[in-house]
Every structure is written in structure tokens, then in C-alpha cells.
């Protein structure tokens, strides 16, 4: 094959930037069809549009004559200075928030660096060095400061892209084009639905900036557009306009968004934060493992961008500071509830951030807002405070060294905090509220509260089983009854949900709360010897299962997730096919059962010991990771020790965590 060559009059086809830089002969190329050298090295082949300054004086004169316009005579009247079109286009919505929060990083190729917040350990040293080193000679020339604390945060600039690594100039552009080909006729309606149904309860985006960039055209981040539209598919059947048409393949759209996000993380920006948070919030859920990894990446990127620092006293627009506060608390919410659902210890600790809980003015930024939006904003605020309480509960779940006295004190304090949190709720956010229509997000808030209460009771029961007190049996019986009551309260609340409430905003972790409730009711039904308790638990399980099946038929995907996880075991228990399996397991010699390090003699029939009065003495009932498959559960032995946690797989339909997906 003959070697590709440039034509004789090669100056008419300019060399690409890389060949010009290394003074190599360029065969002429474009970003779509790179030259030979760029193609071999797998690097972008770009040609700078900036004209090269003429070298000779004669050519310089001709250059000036061609490109410099003669001055015009100024009019006598005063002319107000207006921003140039290029500047206005580059800074849409600059009066309140910069375009970088939602804009496409590929539109401004000059932004090759990302501001990273430096460690507080070296912040003071950097500031001292900055006093003695000029900006032209200092290697810390890109240092800036903001804040009002004793040690103000300092940020450094780091390259966004890895040198020599081939990556997309505008991540997600190809995926966005495919998504738009499918959804283009419906995008206006989907945008309207998002900001009416989801945004009030979970105000992640800046509505004004998003709408400005959306109306301009291709100014939004392509990755953000992919996730935004994928998220809106959840609302497809709630729109009278959209339900007339077949719903596009959700799996296909989400996979395109996930593919785009992987590209975006190679050169992350502020808009990447919104994409990954929509990924964690969205449904259906396809991969718990990847979701957990994305949660860790979201926390790390947020801390890198300084979102964990209080921006209240920064010299930035009020709307931008409010947006940063909401963005950080969205990260906290996902970190805490993901930890509760997936069994991974939380990444964020309370002592590592100083961002205040958002207030109403941080969410309601427009001049006029409806009463419905104000109530939904309060729902988000209470979700933040509940997540803060959950953040104090989770260390009790993952603590490997349990101090009996200290943990009991913490449990009592946290139970008081939960009671006070519930007492502070306004009437329209309570479970017994007769508000019509219901506030979006309030049902998710109440079920989250009941799940945290259930978790605390499970921890109390676990601590009691490790106790060596004389009255341990009576105490255990009490905490076991409290745990069962907590599970039945969740059943009662779920059964009371109307179809309109099922269509509200729900975090994807709700599915895991339902699974945990089913687990507790299943075990109490299977292993208790008191007929009254068995009958009560079985009735609650039957009511919950009937409601979940009805909700799944109405399109509540969270119920579908729970059913796909627990169907086989629940059907066996409700049909009574498990009753004959009790007591069939025996161990030769002295049988032992382990309960979190406590050795309990097993009964002769292989079941865990029971208390007087027929109460079940629980050994280990995992409360931190209900994401298990119940397939063949009854054939692998009873739920003792850590054995059942080692089961691999997530049922016939893998539904673990990507609140946004993978």
C-alpha cells in the first residue's frame, strides 16, 4: 500500500498541532480522519484555528491590512458597554451560576485543568510560599483562596486529562446523539415532568441554569443529558401525552448513559457530579456492585472539588453557594442510605465536612414558588436531617469492637433523636396526614424513618444477645418483640399507600427496606414456636406480599425488585411447605451455633434456642446487607452465623444498587 503523502503545495493543507510541535511531516488530517502519526499514537489530531503571526515585516503589514478593521468614529451619545457575543455565549446564566455546573466540558477546549482542594495540612504552607513567589515563577501559581475559617481552603489546579491517553474530546457526545434520535420528539415533555415531579423532592439541579442551557441547544453536558432523559423514563406513564406512545427500551437508554459516564470519569468536571448522582438516584437498578463503586467515586470527586467545605462566606453568588450545599447533601444522602442498604461502611464521616443542612432559601431560589414546591423542599430538608441521624447509627452497625455500656447509651440517645425528629415534622409530612395531594417525597421520607427505627431495634437486639446479664433472656424477649413490631409498622404503612403515593419520588434504597422487612417476618414465622406469634407474623407477611404484588401491577418498580428477591421463600412459607423442614437438622455430639462470636448450645432438633414463652432467641440476623438471593435458601441450612451472607448471586433478576444503573 503506497504511503499517504501531502500534496506538493503542502502549505495549503496545514499540519496538525502535534506534528507542528514536534516538527514532523504531516500527511494532513482532521479529528475524524487523523494523520498517520496521530493515528499510530492514538492521540487527537487537531488543527489550531489561531492564525500564525507573520514573520517578516512585509507579511505582517499585509496581515494587519487583511484582519484589522479601520476604527469607526464614536457617536456623541453615551454607549453602555455590553458583553461580547462570545463571552455571553460562554457564560450563559453567569448572573447567578457559571455554566461549568451543567455545561459541556468539550465546548471549551481551553479548560484543560481542574481545581482541586489542597489538603489542610499544606494549606498554610502554600499561602506562606505564595507571598514570596510571584505568579510567573511559582510552581504554585494557580493557587486561590476562599472561605472564612482559621485555615481557609486552598485549591490547586491539576490537569483534567491523562497525558498520552486517548479519550473522547466531548465525553458522551455519541451516546447523546443516539439517545436524542430515540427521544427527541418527547424531550420537552420529559423536561417538564422532571422539574414538576422529581426536582421539588430532590433538588439536585439548578432549574434556571439547566433550562437556559437546554433552550440554547448543545450547551448541556452530553453525559448529563443522557442521565437526565433516562431518569425521566420513570415518569413515562404519568404523562397523558407520553403514555400514548410506546415506552422506549429503558435498559438500552440506561446502558448508553452508563457508557458515557465511564468516559466522563477519565476527565471529570463539576457536571460529572450531577451525572453520577442521577445514576445513583435512577431506576431500574441493574448492578449493586457498580453502584457501590460509583458512590465511592462520587464522594471522592465531591471532596476533590471542595463540596465538603461550607461555602456560606465565600465570595460567590448566593445561588451558587446554595447549589453547592444541595449538591453536597445529595452526596451525603446517597452515601448513608447506600451503606444501610448494601452493607458497605459509609465513606463520609461527620467530622470531615462543615456544610450546613440546607434551609428553605437554599432550595427555593426563584422569586415566586408554589406552596406545593415549598412543602416538597421541606421534605428534602427533613430527609437531610434524617440522613444525619442515620450517619450516627451506621457506626454501630459496622463497629467490630462493641462496648456494651457505650453502645447502649448511644442507642438510647439515637432513639431520642428519632422521637424528636418525628415530633418536629409538620403535619403535611406525617404518616397520618390527610393532605391532598400528598407532598412529593413525603412517603419516601416516612418509610425511611421507619427503616431507621427498625435498624436501631435490630442493633439493640444484637447487643442484648451478647450480654452476660442475668436478665438477658427477658431483655432479649423485649427487644425481639420491639423488632417484630417495627417490621409490622412498616407493613401497615406500605399497605396504606395509595396509587398516587406510589408514583411520588422514591429513593431506590426503599427496595432494600422492603427486603429487610420481609427477612425479619420470614425468620420470625419460620423459627418461632409460639403459635400466636407465628400467626401474627404470617398474617403481616401475607398482607405485605399482597400489597407488593398489587403495587407491582400498578408499575411500582421497587415492589418488583423485592418480589424478584424473595418470591420463592415467601411462597414456601405462606404455603406451609417449610413447616416440615423445622427440626430436621442435627449435629453429632454437642451442637453449637455461633452468634457474632457468642457460642450458644443448639437444641437437639437443630433449631436456635428459644426463650420461655415461646420467644425466638435470635442468633445472627444481618441488618446491614439484605441484598441476598433466597434461591435454594431452605436447602442450605438455617440462617446461623455468617454462612448465609456468603451466598453469591442476586436472584433471577440482579437488582442491587444502581440507583442510576449499570
DSSP string covering 347-384, please?
S--GGG--PPPP-HHHH--SS---HHHHHHHHHHHHHH
Give the number of C-alpha atoms closer than 13 A to the C-alpha of residue 505, restricted to the C-beta side. Answer: 26
How many whole angstroms separate alpha carbon 552 and alpha carbon 502? Answer: 10
At residue 618, does pLDDT exceed 80? no
Q: What pLDDT, on a 0 to 100 scale, did the predictor assign at position 617?
A: 39
Bigger pLDDT: 646 or 157? 157
How many whole angstroms separate alpha carbon 485 and alpha carbon 63? Answer: 85
How many whole angstroms separate alpha carbon 256 and alpha carbon 251? Answer: 9
Average of pLDDT values for 430-443? Answer: 85
Bigger pLDDT: 627 or 504? 504
**pLDDT, mean over the chain:** 75
Q: What pLDDT, on a 0 to 100 scale, did the predictor assign at position 155?
A: 65
CB 8 within 8 A of CB 14: no
Q: What pLDDT, on a 0 to 100 scale, did the predictor assign at position 87?
A: 32
Q: What is the pLDDT of residues 623-636, one digit of tens each?
A: 333 333 333 333 32
- Residue 116's contacts (CB-CB under 8 Å, 6 or more residues apart) are 155, 156, 157, 158, 304, 305
CB 231 within 8 A of CB 221: no
Q: What pLDDT, on a 0 to 100 scale, did the predictor assign at position 291?
A: 86
How many whole angstroms separate alpha carbon 420 and alpha carbon 415? Answer: 9
- Grouping H, G, I as helix, E, B as strand and the rest as coil, residue 72 is coil
Question: Which pLDDT band holds residue 270 (cuts at 50, 70, 90)?
Answer: confident
Q: What pLDDT, on a 0 to 100 scale, did the predictor assign at position 578?
A: 55
Amino acid at each position: 500500500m503506497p504511503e499517504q503523502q501531502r500534496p506538493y503545495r503542502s502549505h495549503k493543507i496545514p499540519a496538525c498541532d502535534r506534528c507542528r510541535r514536534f516538527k514532523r511531516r504531516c500527511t494532513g488530517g482532521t479529528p475524524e480522519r487523523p494523520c498517520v502519526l496521530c493515528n499510530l499514537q492514538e492521540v487527537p489530531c487537531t488543527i489550531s484555528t489561531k492564525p500564525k503571526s507573520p514573520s517578516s515585516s512585509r507579511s505582517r503589514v499585509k496581515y494587519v491590512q487583511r484582519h484589522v478593521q479601520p476604527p469607526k468614529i464614536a457617536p456623541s451619545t453615551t454607549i453602555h458597554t455590553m458583553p461580547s457575543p462570545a463571552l455571553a455565549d460562554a457564560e450563559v446564566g453567569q448572573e447567578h451560576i457559571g455554566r461549568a455546573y451543567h455545561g459541556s466540558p468539550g465546548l471549551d477546549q481551553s479548560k484543560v485543568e481542574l481545581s482541586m482542594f489542597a489538603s489542610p495540612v499544606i494549606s498554610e504552607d502554600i499561602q506562606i510560599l505564595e507571598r514570596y513567589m510571584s505568579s510567573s515563577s511559582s510552581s504554585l501559581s494557580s493557587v486561590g483562596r476562599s472561605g472564612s475559617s482559621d485555615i481557609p481552603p486552598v485549591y490547586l489546579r491539576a490537569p483534567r486529562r491523562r497525558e498520552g491517553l486517548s479519550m473522547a474530546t466531548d465525553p458522551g457526545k455519541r451516546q447523546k446523539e443516539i439517545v436524542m434520535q430515540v427521544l427527541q420528539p418527547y424531550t420537552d415533555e420529559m423536561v417538564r415532568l422532571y422539574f414538576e415531579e422529581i426536582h421539588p423532592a430532590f433538588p439536585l439541579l439548578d432549574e434556571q441554569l439547566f433550562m437556559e442551557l437546554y433552550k440554547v441547544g448543545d450547551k448541556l453536558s452530553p453525559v448529563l443529558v443522557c442521565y437526565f432523559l433516562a431518569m425521566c423514563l420513570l415518569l413515562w406513564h404519568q404523562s397523558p401525552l407520553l403514555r400514548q406512545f410506546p415506552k422506549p427500551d429503558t435498559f438500552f437508554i440506561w446502558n448508553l448513559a452508563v457508557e458515557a459516564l465511564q468516559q466522563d470519569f477519565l476527565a471529570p468536571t463539576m457536571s460529572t457530579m450531577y451525572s453520577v448522582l442521577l445514576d445513583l438516584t435512577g431506576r431500574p437498578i441493574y448492578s449493586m456492585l457498580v453502584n457501590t463503586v460509583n458512590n465511592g467515586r462520587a464522594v471522592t470527586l465531591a471532596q476533590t472539588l471542595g463540596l465538603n467545605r461550607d461555602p456560606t462566606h465565600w465570595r460567590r453568588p448566593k445561588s451558587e453557594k446554595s447549589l453547592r450545599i444541595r449538591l453536597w447533601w445529595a452526596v451525603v444522602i446517597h452515601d448513608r442510605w447506600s451503606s444501610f442498604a448494601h452493607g458497605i461502611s459509609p465513606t463520609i464521616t461527620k467530622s470531615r465536612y462543615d456544610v450546613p443542612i440546607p434551609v428553605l432559601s437554599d432550595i427555593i431560589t426563584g422569586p415566586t414558588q408554589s406552596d406545593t414546591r415549598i412543602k416538597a423542599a421541606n421534605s428534602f430538608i427533613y430527609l437531610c436531617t434524617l440522613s444525619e441521624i442515620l450517619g450516627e447509627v451506621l457506626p454501630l452497625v459496622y463497629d467490630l469492637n462493641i462496648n456494651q455500656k457505650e453502645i447502649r447509651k448511644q442507642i438510647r440517645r439515637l432513639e431520642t433523636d428519632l422521637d424528636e425528629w418525628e415530633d418536629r415534622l409538620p403535619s403535611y409530612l406525617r404518616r397520618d396526614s390527610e393532605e391532598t395531594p400528598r407532598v412529593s417525597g413525603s412517603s419516601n421520607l416516612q418509610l425511611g424513618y421507619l427503616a431507621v427505627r427498625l435498624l436501631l431495634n435490630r442493633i439493640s437486639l444484637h447487643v442484648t444477645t451478647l450480654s452476660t446479664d442475668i436478665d438477658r433472656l427477658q431483655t432479649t424477649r423485649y427487644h425481639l418483640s420491639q423488632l417484630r413490631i417495627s417490621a409490622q409498622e412498616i407493613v401497615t404503612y406500605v399497605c396504606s399507600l395509595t396509587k398516587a403515593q406510589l408514583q411520588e419520588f422514591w429513593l431506590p434504597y426503599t427496595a432494600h427496606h422492603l427486603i429487610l422487612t420481609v427477612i425479619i417476618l420470614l425468620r420470625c414465622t419460620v423459627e418461632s414456636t409460639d403459635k400466636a406469634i407465628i400467626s401474627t407474623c404470617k398474617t403481616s407477611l401475607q398482607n405485605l406480599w399482597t400489597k407488593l404484588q398489587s403495587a407491582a401491577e400498578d408499575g411500582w418498580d421497587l415492589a418488583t425488585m423485592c418480589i424478584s428477591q424473595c418470591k420463592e421463600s415467601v411462597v414456601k412459607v405462606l404455603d406451609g411447605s417449610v413447616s416440615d423442614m423445622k427440626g430436621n437438622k442435627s449435629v453429632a455430639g454437642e451442637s453449637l451455633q455461633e452468634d457474632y462470636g457468642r457460642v450458644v448450645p443448639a437444641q437437639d432438633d437443630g433449631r436456635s434456642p428459644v426463650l420461655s414463652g415461646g420467644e425466638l432467641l435470635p442468633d445472627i440476623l444481618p441488618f446491614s446487607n439484605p441484598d441476598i438471593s433466597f434461591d435454594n435458601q431452605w436447602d442450605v441450612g438455617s440462617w446461623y452465623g455468617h454462612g448465609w451472607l456468603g451466598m453469591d448471586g442476586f436472584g433471577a433478576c440482579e437488582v442491587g444498587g444502581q440507583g442510576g444503573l449499570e
